Structure formats: structure tokens, C-alpha cells
Structure 1
Amino acid sequence: HANGLEHADIHLERRVLTLPGYFRPTKLWDLLVMNEGRLIAALEFKSQVGPSFGNNFNNRTEEAIGTAHDLWTGYREGAFGEQTRPFVGWLMLLEDAPKSRSPVKDQSPHFPVFKEFKNASYAERYNILCRKLMQEQLYTVASVIVSPREAVETGEHGELSEMTGLRSFISELAGHIAAEAARTWMV
């Protein structure tokens, strides 16, 4: 509302967070912004705590890629009607712990692992994932923030890079909302 869409609907309740999919009937999002029947923003919030960072990283990666591909294919096929591209955001909160910050070794017996993943910690891997999700235009913004378990009361957190940080996420969303407000106002 502060960015010009005073009448936009911000949906947080489970019963109104579903969008149609292309490869599946529906997808439940964590937050939707709608304005005059148009999808303005769809956001996915994820978190991960230890100790099992390995399996969870791979599952989160596959889920993020599949969710985005499903949404954009549905968009292309008219699932949301004729409208401008919505903002699609993915935000990961990762436990800042020794195991999420320690280098991880991988083995690929047939082909080499991409160099950016060699000895990268899970925190670094999430940062790489977020950069690649944006580079491939699967998400408007993908961010990872790290926070120690004991910061549950204080909200203390850190960012791994400016590009994948919370400030970038928020400013890109605010800019998208302001652009939609300008389009709506001009009509």
C-alpha cells in the first residue's frame, strides 16, 4: 500500500493463496498481491535449519526450480489472463551454523562438478542458487539470509551478497509495486 497500490489485496490466509499451475492443477504460495483481478506478486518463503543441510538443499533447489517453471509456463499459457509479468520472489532463511558455513565436498564420477560448487558451503550454495534463479529469470528476485538459531527473539540476520540480500528483495518488490501503481493510475 505504501508504494501506491492503496486498494491492492495482500493475501496471507491459506484459503486464498492458491494459483493455477501448468504441470499440476494448483500451487499454494506464501503471499500473493492482487490488484483489480491481476496477479501483481507471488512470494515463496522457505527456511532451513540443521543438522541435515545436504538433502534439504537439494530438495529446496528442485522445488524452487519446478515452482518457477510451473508458474511461468502457466503465465505463458494464459492462466492469469492477459496481464504484465508478475513479481515472483523466493526468500530462504538459513540457519547460520558451523555446518551451514563449512565447505562441502561432492563427488561426480562421470563429469566434473561446476567450479563454483567445489568446496562451497551450504550457505554459499544457496547464494549461488539465488543468483542463478535470477540469472535464468525464474524469479524476479531470489534471496537468502542467514540467522543463528538463538536470534529468534532479536531478528539478527546477515546477507551473503548485495544481489541476493533482503534489501534487494524488498527494493525490487517495492519498485514492481510502484510500476504497477503507475500503470493503474495512468489508465
Structure 2
Amino acid sequence: MALELVDYEQKTREAVMAFWGNREKAKQKALEAGGDHKGERAGVTAGNNMDGFLALIIDLVKANGLPHASIHQQRKLLTLPGFFRPTKLWDLLVVDQEKKQLVAAIELKSQVGPSFGNNFNNRTEEAIGTAHCLWTAYREGAFGKHPRPFIGWMMLVEDAPESSRPVRDKSPHFPVFPEFEGASYQKRYDILCQRLVQEQLYTTATIIAAPRTSVDSGDYSELSEMTSLQTFVTSFAGHIAAHAARQ
């Protein structure tokens, strides 16, 4: 089965440029409207920062055998039932309406400086909790008796000195795992993504790092083969193609 990867590297570069460009536009708009303290926050909360990555995922769905699948991006159609809470809002859902089957659910996240520490912990807890809640709901029949959906987690982190330099931890009673000792926040995200997959919380989890200067070039870097964008894209395309073949 030949997979169509829709020139994902070029589209990722375009998505990275759009990420930084949209963020800067939101920041400038807020500065003009309300002062310096609002600009950076507006850039972070701009709702369309990750739209380029959403477009890439949609292209993969259509190119690998599901051109007419129900691909949901509107907020009112992005909730799924949970087990520990009533519902969870996702960033993109792919649903087979004919079979009433959840095909894929995707979370897209980003983090820019300078507060990498607190945000990393929050992102970690959120990612683990979200997946555990969904799979427990799946086990209890919330999505019907169907094959496991693709559950994806993608993170873009700012490539900056604060995210790439070694970080020290304090654990007075028991030592931290050695792989975390002196690991930068980028490396910690890489470890997180690897373990999210190893523990079968996500089908695939990926992290890419991009500096703010990528607004003009789209340059980005990957941290490991297991968490690379290629791994995410090929795994997702394979899942879509397999679902299409079952039809």
C-alpha cells in the first residue's frame, strides 16, 4: 500500500512560517490596541497559529483514501466524551459518519518563551490526562465497538536559549531518572513524546523546534527519529489508508 505524504516537509515549512507570522500579527494588533503588556499574550493566544499544521493533516486524510471523510475543525463539533469528565475539546477530529466511527483525534500544541518550566509541566499533565481519559472512555464503549482510533499529539516549541540549555532539578528524597538530569526543555519534550507512545497513550507524538527567525525561512529541527514529523506523518497516513481499505 503506497502512502501519499503530500510533500509534508514543504508544507511544514509553510506552517512554521505561518505560525510565527500569525503570532506576530496578533501581537502587533494588541500592541496598537492596548499597550505593551498585551502584545506577547495576544501572540500566544491567537487562535490560528497552528492552522498550517491542521491543513497538512487534512491533506493527508484526503490523499490517503478518505476524501469525503467528516473532518471537523469548528469548535462546536470538536468535543468527544470522556470518562473522568463529560467531554474534551480536541483540535481536529476525523469521523466516519456512515459507520459512526472515530477515525482520528489530534491535539496541536505550541510553546514559546520565556516561561518554559511551568508550561512544560502543564503540557505534560494535560497530555497524559487527556489520553488516559479518552482510552478509558473507549474501553467503556463511548465510541462503539470499532478499531482503535489514531490519537496524535504534536508540539511546536520555540528554539531559543531558554529551551535548549541544560536545566537542573531538585529532588531531595529520591533521584530523578538519569535521562532527565541536565536535560533541556526541548529534550524533556522529546522524552515526553517518546514515553507517550511507549505507554500507548498516543499513537504518535511529535515535537519540532523552530526559532522566531523561521518566520522568513520555515526552518525547523527534529529531536529524534521516534518523535520526528516523518514518523507522525507516515503513521497517520497509514492509519487513514488502512481505514479506507476496510471500507
Bin for the TM-score computed over the shorter chain: over 0.9
Helix, strand or coil: the match of 1:149?
Answer: coil
Aligned pairs (5 A) from 1:1-187? 1-35=62-96, 36=98, 37-184=100-247
Q: Within 1, Cα distance between the matches of 2:168 and 2:88?
A: 34
Q: Within 2, Cα distance between the matches of 1:125 and 1:52?
A: 15
Question: Unpaired runs of 5+ in structure 2?
Answer: 1-61
Higher mean C-alpha deviation, range 158-167 or range 119-128: 158-167
TM-score by length of 2: 0.73
Look at both structures and tell me which one has the larger radius of gyration over its CA atoms.
2
RMSD value over aligned CA atoms? 0.8
1:118 shift after superposition: 0.2
1:153 shift after superposition: 4.2
Question: Unpaired runs of 5+ in structure 1?
Answer: none
Structure number with the higher helix fraction is: 2
Higher mean C-alpha deviation, range 113-122 or range 153-162: 153-162
AA aligned opposite 1:160: L
1:38 shift after superposition: 0.7
Q: Within 1, Cα distance between the matches of 2:215 and 2:72?
A: 25
- TM-superposition CA deviations, 1:118-143 (whole Å, max 9, x none): 00000000000000000000000000
Runs ≥4 in structure 1, deviation > 3 angstroms? none
Matched-pair identity in %: 68
- TM-superposition CA deviations, 1:135-184 (whole Å, max 9, x none): 00000000000000121343221100111011111110000000101111
Q: How many residues align?
A: 184
Structure number with the higher strand fraction is: 1
